[in-house]
Amino acid sequence: MRRKAKSLIWLGLAVTLGLLVSCVYHPIESKKKAEPDVIKIEFWYGLSGYLGELMKEIIDDFNQQQTGVQVIGVAQGSYEETAQALRAAIVRQKPPAAVLLEDQRMQFFANIGALSPLDSYIHADQDFHQEDFVDSFLSQGEFHGVTYALPMYGTTQVLYYRKDLFAQGGVDPEMLGTWEGLAEAAKKLTKVNGQEVLVYGWEPMQGPENLIDAAISRGGKFLSADGKTVTIDGPAWIEAWEFFRKAIHEAKVMKVNYGGNGWEYWYATIHDVMQGRAAGYTGSSGDQGDLDFNIIGAHIQPAWKGYEGYPRAVAHARAIGIPDIIPEEQKEAAFQWIKYITSTEVTARWSMQTGYLPVRESAMDTESYRKFTRDNPQIMIPYQQTKLATRMFFDPTGGKIYEALKVAAEKVEIHNIPAQTALKEAKEKSQRELDKVLAGGDSH
C-alpha cells in the first residue's frame, strides 16, 4: 500500500510539473487567441448637453460593433476650447488621434501642417464613396486641393420663435422674411415694466456668425476682387452690424447672452425662449434636439429690403481631422472611426436626433429619414436655407480675419461700441495679417 501511495504521489507531481511547464512556454500564444490586439484612440469634441450625450452613445455603438479599435471620447468645453487644447497638445506632441473642428479652425490647422492628408485613406477604401458627400460640406475640409478633414454634420443659423407669443402679440411670422420686419416684430413683442424688460422681442446668438450672415445678405464681402484688400469695414458690414447694436443697446428690443463656461451662453439663450423670457432667437440648426416644436416655430434667416437677391446665411461644416504627428497605426484606426461616424446611417441618425444637416446625399434617401421629415417638417428649414446660402469664406490668413471679427462682434454686441469703430479696427488688424501672407511671410 505504501509503494502504491508513493507512486500516486509521484504521478501527481509529474502532472503538476507538466502543467506548469505548459503555462511557462505557451502563455503568450493563449493570450493572443483569447484577447486580440485593440488600438485605443482618443477623439476630442466640443459638445455638451444633449449633443454630448448623443456623441457618447455613438462612440459606444462603434466600440461594441467591432473589436479592432476602441474610441475614447474626450469632451471639451466648446469648439474654441477644443482648438486651444489641440494647439497645446501638438506642442507637447501628445494630440488625440481624431478631433472635431469648426471649418475656420480646421483651415488654420491644415495651413500650418498640423493635420494629416486623408486622400490616400479615402482612395484605398472602395467602400467609402467620397462622391456621396454633399459637395458644399466636403469642400470645407479641403485646403489647396488636399482633403484634411471630413464633415460629420452641416449647420446653418436659422430663426426660432414662440408661436404662442407671436399670436398673442398679433405678429405674423411672415414678418421674419426681412431683417427690418424682424426688428418691427421684436419691438411689438418686447414687454417692459418701467425700466425692466420682462420679455425681449428677439435674442441674436452672441458671436460673429449671425452678424457675418447679415452683412453677407446685404452684399458684404471679406476681400476685394483681387484678394489684396480686406473689406470688412465696408458700408454693408457697418450698416448690418449697426442695426443689431442699436436694437440691443438703444431700442432694447434685443438681448445677447454672453460669458460663462463653454456653451453656457448658448443654452441661456435657448432657455430664455423656452421659458418665455424672449419671443425668439437666432440659433443653430443643431438646436432642434433641445426645442419643443409644439410651441416653437422655425424660419429661414431674413434678407434685407432691397437685397433679396443676395445669398443669406453661411452653411458651415463641422469636420473631423487626424493630427499629422501621431503614429500610422493610430491614423488608420482614426480613419475607421471617421468612416463610421460619417456613414449614411450615422449621419442620418445624427440629423434626425439633432436637426443638423446630414453630410451624405444617401442619408436623405433612406426611408427612416424621409418618414422623419414628413413627421417633423421643421428639420427641413435648415436644408431649405442651404439652397439660398453662401459657402464659407476661406480665410487666407489662417483664421486671423475671423479672429478680428470675433473681437469686433464682442465690442458691438456687448460693449456698445459703434460698428464703424469696431470694424475699422478689425479691418486694420486683418490687413496687416493679409499683407504678411501676400509678402510670403508667416501670419501665425
For residue range 287-316, what is the model confidence (pLDDT) as tens digits? Answer: 998 899 999 999 999 999 998 777 688 888
Q: How confident is the model at residue 440 (pLDDT cuts 50, 70, 90)?
A: confident
* H/E element, 280: strand 280-284
β pairing state of 98-102 and 39-45:
parallel
CA–CA gap between residue 93 and residue 87 (Å, rounded): 10
Would residue 200 be called left, alpha or beta, if left means φ above 0 and alpha means ψ between -120 and 50 degrees? beta
Residue 444 has a pLDDT of 52
Q: Where are the domains of the chain?
A: 38-155+316-391, 157-312+395-438
Residue 25 has pLDDT above 80, yes or no: no
For the domain spanning 38-155+316-391, the CATH number is 3.40.190.10
Coil, strand or helix: which one is 299? strand
Residue 311 has a pLDDT of 67
Coil, strand or helix: which one is 6? helix
Residue 8 has pLDDT above 80, yes or no: no
Region 74-102: what's the mean pLDDT? 95
Which residues lie closer than 8 Å to 417 by C-beta, 6 or more apart?
A: 245, 411
The crossing angle, in degrees rounded to 10, of helices 400-413 and 419-438 is: 170
Q: How confident is the model at residue 36 (pLDDT cuts 50, 70, 90)?
A: low
CA–CA gap between residue 105 and residue 131 (Å, rounded): 24
Which DSSP symbol is given to 250? I
CATH class of 157-312+395-438: alpha beta
- Work out the burial of residue 356: count CB atoms within 10 Å of its CB; fewer than 13 is exposed, 13-18 middle, 19 or more buried: buried
Residue 2 has a pLDDT of 38
Average pLDDT across the chain, whole number: 89
Residue 30 has pLDDT above 50, yes or no: no
Give phi and psi for 326, each to the nearest 5. Answer: -80, 160
Residue 99 has a pLDDT of 98
Contact yes or no for 73/53 (Cβ under 8 A): no
Which of 289, 250, 284 has its CA nearest to residue 265?
A: 284
Interval 310-369: pLDDT, tens = 768 888 899 999 999 999 999 999 999 999 999 999 999 999 999 899 999 999 999 999
Residue 23 has pLDDT above 80, yes or no: no
Interval 135-193: pLDDT, tens = 889 988 998 899 999 999 999 999 999 999 999 999 999 999 999 999 999 999 999 99
CA–CA gap between residue 57 and residue 47 (Å, rounded): 13
Cell numbers representing residue 149 in the block: 478633414
Residue 22 has a pLDDT of 40
Residue 409 has pLDDT above 70, yes or no: yes
Residue 28 has pLDDT above 90, yes or no: no
Interval 241-286: pLDDT, tens = 999 999 999 999 999 999 988 899 999 999 999 999 999 999 999 8
Residue 443 has a pLDDT of 52
Q: pTM of the predicted model, to two decimals?
A: 0.82
Name which of 29-38, 75-84, 408-417 the model is least confident about.
29-38
Residue 211 has a pLDDT of 97
* Cell 509503494 sits on residue: 3
In the chain, the percentage of residues whose pLDDT exceeds 90 is 76
Q: How confident is the model at residue 442 (pLDDT cuts 50, 70, 90)?
A: low
Residue 32 has a pLDDT of 42
Q: How confident is the model at residue 391 (pLDDT cuts 50, 70, 90)?
A: confident
Q: How confident is the model at residue 213 (pLDDT cuts 50, 70, 90)?
A: very high
Residue 34 has pLDDT above 50, yes or no: no
